[in-house]
Amino acid sequence: MNTMVGYLRLKERGRRATLIGIGLASVLGFIAARASTALAGTKTGIALSLLVTLGPPLLYAAVIAPIVFPLGAYVFLVPLDGLLDTGAVGTVTKILGAATAGALVLYMLRRKRAVEPPHAAVWWLLLYLWSTASLFWAIDPPTAQTALPTVLELFGLYIVVAIFPIKMAGLRNIINMAIAGSAIAALYAVYFFHTGAGQAAAADSRLFLSNGDGSGVINPDHLAAAMVLPVALSCVAIIYNRNLLVRLVCLAGVGAMLWTVDLSSSRGGALAVGAAILYLMVRDRHRLALGAGLGAIIVAVLATSGQSLIQRFATMTVNGGAGRSDIWHIGFLAFKEHWLFGAGYANFPFAYDSAFIRVPELFYTKWHRASHDIILNTAVELGVVGLILLICAWTSHFRLLSFIKPEHPLYPLRTALEASMIGLFVAGLFADIMSMKYAWMPFMLAVLTRTAILSERNPQINANANANVNT
């Protein structure tokens, strides 16, 4: 009994120390902000003012609670990644991603705790080792050298997240941030479109999100694909969360996200969201309620937002899916020339050019095109070896949470993540998504879910924790 009382007292003291530390950091930040007010007349000054204002408390949070910041902030901002360009340094999310990796590693070193990554991570490792090796035979090595660091950074962050010993409370925080960030991004997109700023000059009036000065634009196909995961997460929250307010907020968020998909007029994005929803309806026992609710939302969205998406589906055979059919035809010929080792990472456009001149086209697709398909892209750039590794990486992560049975409380989360992986794979059949941050979110959430369950089974989770689950 005395031991328990002592433990509770120590725990309470720890909480008080944390609150005092945050308070002191906030006060110091406020004082620093007042001192830098004179700098706030320029963008640089504003950035410096924000840095000195928020820097101390955020730095403190990164040390004691990196799940909240910077990882939570990173997840929150991923849907608007393309608008957050800072110039030569990259986007804000890129900076936050590097900060997240550093903060998580520092936390694990301080606590001397880490988790063995799942076996599924090996497939990503092999894929990007093979991608790096392709520099030796790439058609244009400088292009590969320029493009490869982006995906290696995403893979590096994924590995750090995979070994981080997260708990259930931290997992819930990340899921909430993923839903909230996407819902706010969707609401911003709807507002942006209806103010007229987001309507492109093209006849199909698609939604191109822009930050106004031309330094950042989000392609509508990627904007729609980024909604796949949060739609799936929101759907299970609507069904299973006991808090009525949370359910209503998630319902409104789903409406905004589906509205955004419709305004984007992205056929691949719409099919991706549809595939995710269909999977949820097949796997969840509340399929009728889910189908009726989402059906009502979709009808309302289509009735109020115009016919652009429907028209693009109707004209798909007229222009070959915006020229994709001819691109894929030419890409297949390029694959036959580079089927074993590939043309080199990020070298699809060069392999495409070499095959372009020999192919009669129904629709002129121009030179040096992207593949618009992760299967074809990987096959051409990395050959059958890379294609096998890619498929194994996706399927192994899809099966990563198969040990979660229907009676487990996190089973709805498992189905949502599986649905998002299916949906994003469908999106990947129409767009190149592997270098996009949103495409890695389901994989990161899957490994975090696995780790949270392991920590629940064994509070002293360590490097041998992988033995508890056969992945």
Each residue's pLDDT tens digit, 54-100: 667 778 788 899 999 999 999 999 999 988 887 777 888 999 999 99
Kindly give, in sequence order, each residue whose CB lies less than 8 Å from that of residue 99, ignoring residues fewer than 6 positions away: 62, 70, 74
Residue 162 is assigned to a structural domain of this protein: yes
Question: Quick one: how far is CA 223 from the chain centroid?
Answer: 11
**Rounded to whole angstroms, what are the CA distances from 199 to 188, 305, 306, 463?**
14, 13, 13, 51
Other Cβ atoms less than 10 A from the Cβ of 267: the count is 18
Of the candidates 393, 389, 283, 371, the one whose C-alpha atom is nearest the C-alpha of residue 327 is: 371
Q: Please, which pLDDT band fits residue 118 given cuts at 50, 70 and 90?
A: very high
Residue 211 is assigned to a structural domain of this protein: yes
Look at residue 214 in the predicted model and tell me its pLDDT. Answer: 58
Token digits of residue 326 = 């001819």
Of the candidates 427, 422, 469, 468, the one whose C-alpha atom is nearest the C-alpha of residue 442 is: 422
Phi, psi of 213 (to 5 degrees): -100, 5
Residue 387 is assigned to a structural domain of this protein: yes
For residue 452, is pLDDT > 90?
A: yes
**Rounded to whole angstroms, what are the CA distances from 215 to 47, 73, 84, 209, 241?**
17, 22, 9, 11, 40
Kindly give, in sequence order, each residue whose CB lies less than 8 Å from that of residue 260, ignoring residues fewer than 6 positions away: 185, 186, 189, 190, 207, 223, 224, 227
What is the pLDDT averaged over residues 227-233?
Answer: 97
Of the candidates 410, 416, 419, the one whose C-alpha atom is nearest the C-alpha of residue 454 is: 410
Look at residue 370 in the predicted model and tell me its pLDDT. Answer: 85
Kindly give, in sequence order, each residue whose CB lies less than 8 Å from that of residue 214, ignoring residues fewer than 6 positions away: none
Of the candidates 232, 223, 185, 224, the one whose C-alpha atom is nearest the C-alpha of residue 421 is: 232
pTM here is: 0.86
Look at residue 329 in the predicted model and tell me its pLDDT. Answer: 84
What is the pLDDT averaged over residues 319-328?
Answer: 71
At 345-388, the pLDDT tens digits run 999 999 998 888 776 655 556 778 888 899 999 999 999 999 99
Q: How many domains does the chain have?
A: 1
Q: Are 77 and 96 in contact (CB under 8 A)?
A: yes
Give the DSSP letter string of 182-248: HHHHHHHHHHHHHTTTTB-SSTT--B-EE-SSSS-EE-HHHHHHTTHHHHHHHHHHHHH---HHHHH
- Look up the domain containing 128 and give its range: 120-315+374-378+382-468
Q: Please, which pLDDT band fits residue 4 given cuts at 50, 70 and 90?
A: very low
Sequence-ordered strand ranges (E) for 32-135: none
d(CA 100, CA 326): 41
Residue 386 is assigned to a structural domain of this protein: yes
How many residues are listed for the chain in this entry?
Answer: 471
Look at residue 45 in the predicted model and tell me its pLDDT. Answer: 54
Residue 82 is assigned to a structural domain of this protein: no
Residue 179 is assigned to a structural domain of this protein: yes
Residue 334 is assigned to a structural domain of this protein: no
What is the pLDDT averaged over residues 218-246?
Answer: 94
Residue 33 is assigned to a structural domain of this protein: no
Instruction: Please report, rounded to a whole number, the percentage of residues in the chain having pLDDT higher than 70.
Output: 78
Burial class (CB in 10 A: 0-12, 13-18, 19+), 380: buried
Look at residue 46 in the predicted model and tell me its pLDDT. Answer: 54
Taking the CA atoms of residue 303, residue 308, residue 313 and residue 319 in that order, the dihedral angle to the nearest 10 degrees is: 170
